[in-house]
Structure 1
Amino acid sequence: MLSKTPYGYKVAFRIGVMIEMLPEEETLDTWTEMLTVQVMRNVNGYTLDSFYAGMKEGWMEMCSRGSVQITERGHEGLQPTLIWSQICALNRETGQPENTWFKLSIPNGVLVLVQKAFRFTPTDDDIATWLDFLRDVRVDHRLQALH
C-alpha cells in the first residue's frame, strides 16, 4: 500500500485499506507516535479544501484552544495534494498533547489520507523528518477503497 514504510515501524492494526503503524516498541493502548494510511471512496465528492475544512471543524470542537494550519499545497504528478497540521496542547479525551500532520490527495475520486500523529510535542527535527516523509510517500490508490 505504501511506497515506503518507516524504519522501525510495524503494522499494529489493519482493516480493509486502513493501516495504523507504530514504532516497534509501542502498542495501540500506549502509543506515542502513529502513522495511519486510509484509502476511501470519495462518496461525498470532497475537494481538498472541503475535506480540510471538515477536519478543521472537528478538531476545533475537540480542542477549542488548538490550531489547524495548512503547511503546503503540492502535486504528485498532476494530482494536487494538501499537507496540514492539527495541534492540541492538551487533548481532553486522552489527557495528552496531540500533534498531527496530514497529507491528502483525491486521485480518480478516491480519498488518500496519510497522517503522522504524536502524543507529545515533537522537535523541529522530528517535524522536518516527517514532513519530508509525507512529501515523498506514495499510496497505491488503485486498491479497492473502503465501502
Structure 2
Amino acid sequence: MTAMTWLWASVLLQPVPVERLVAPMPPGFQVGYSAEVGSQAIEERVPAGESIDRWTRMVTVQRLGRLATIGSHAFLTRMGGLWTRACPGATVSPISDGEVEGRPVASFRVDCPLNPQTGQPETMFARAFAGASDLHIVQYAFRSVPGAAEARAALAYLDSVRL
C-alpha cells in the first residue's frame, strides 16, 4: 500500500462520533425506568423513594434516532398539541427558539390543570435539541403547580443540559 492509501484507510476507519446528550442526574434523583430500542432511548428519573407510577417530580431524557430533521420547534409544537388534546384546559407557553453549541434548541412550558389520568395538576418544562442526526428531548415535570423557586430550579436544570 502506498502512504496515501494508508492515510485514507486510517481516516475512513475512524469511528464516527456518537451524538450524546449530557443531562446530569438531578441531586436526590434516581433512575426509575430506562429503555433503549435501536436508535430510540428513554430514561425517567424520579426523586429517591418515588417510582414512575408515583412521583412528585420527574425528569425524562429521550433520544429519537434519525429524527433531527423534524426540528426542535416542530417537535414541541406537536407535543404541545398532544397535551392540549389530552388535558382539558391545558395551556402551552410560546415556544422559545435558540441555539446551544451551534445546534437548534426549542423550549416551552405546559400547564395541565387536572390530568385526567391522575386527577392531579401537572406542569412540564421541556427542551428539544436537534442534533446532527438525532432529536433529543429533556422534560422536567411536576405533579403540582410549581412555585417560582421550583420553576427556576427546573429551568436551571434544563439550562445545564448540553448536546
TM-score norm. by structure 1 comes to 0.87
Whole-angstrom distance in 2 between the partners of 1:110 and 1:79: 11
Contact 1:70/1:82, CA 8 A, preserved across alignment: no
> In structure 2, what is the equivalent of residue 120 of structure 1?
144
**Unmatched tracts of structure 1, length 5 or more:** 140-147
Read off the aligned partner of 2:142 and give its amino acid letter: F
Read off the aligned partner of 1:48 and give its amino acid letter: S
Read off the aligned partner of 2:33 and give its amino acid letter: F
- Within the alignment, does 1:54 sit opposite 2:78 as a pair? yes
Q: CA shift at 1:43, angstroms?
A: 4.0
The counterpart of 1:14, out of the listed 24, 34, 53, is 34
Higher RCO (C-alpha under 8 Å, 6+ residues apart)? 1
TM-score norm. by structure 2 comes to 0.79
> In structure 2, what is the equivalent of residue 78 of structure 1?
102
Q: CA shift at 1:77, angstroms?
A: 1.1
When residues 78 and 2 of structure 1 are mapped into structure 2, their CA distance, relative to the original with a 3 A threshold, is closer
C-alpha offsets along residues 84-113 of structure 1, whole Å, 9 cap, x if unaligned?
011111011111101000010111121100
**Structure 1 range deviating more: 1-10 or 94-103:** 1-10
The counterpart of 1:68, out of the listed 84, 92, 100, is 92
Work out which of the two has the higher radius of gyration on C-alpha atoms and give 1 or 2.
2
Contact 2:127/2:158, CA 8 A, preserved across alignment: yes
More strand by share: 1
SS at match of 2:132: helix
C-alpha offsets along residues 57-100 of structure 1, whole Å, 9 cap, x if unaligned?
11111113110113632321111211101111101111110100
Whole-angstrom distance in 1 between the partners of 2:35 and 2:128: 19
> In structure 2, what is the equivalent of residue 144 of structure 1?
none
Q: CA shift at 1:29, angstroms?
A: 2.1
> In structure 2, what is the equivalent of residue 132 of structure 1?
156
Read off the aligned partner of 1:94 and give its amino acid letter: T
Contact 2:73/2:128, CA 8 A, preserved across alignment: no
The counterpart of 2:63, out of the listed 39, 49, 53, is 39
- Within the alignment, does 1:5 sit opposite 2:28 as a pair? no
What is the root-mean-square deviation in Å for CA atoms of aligned residues? 1.7
Contact 1:83/1:104, CA 8 A, preserved across alignment: yes
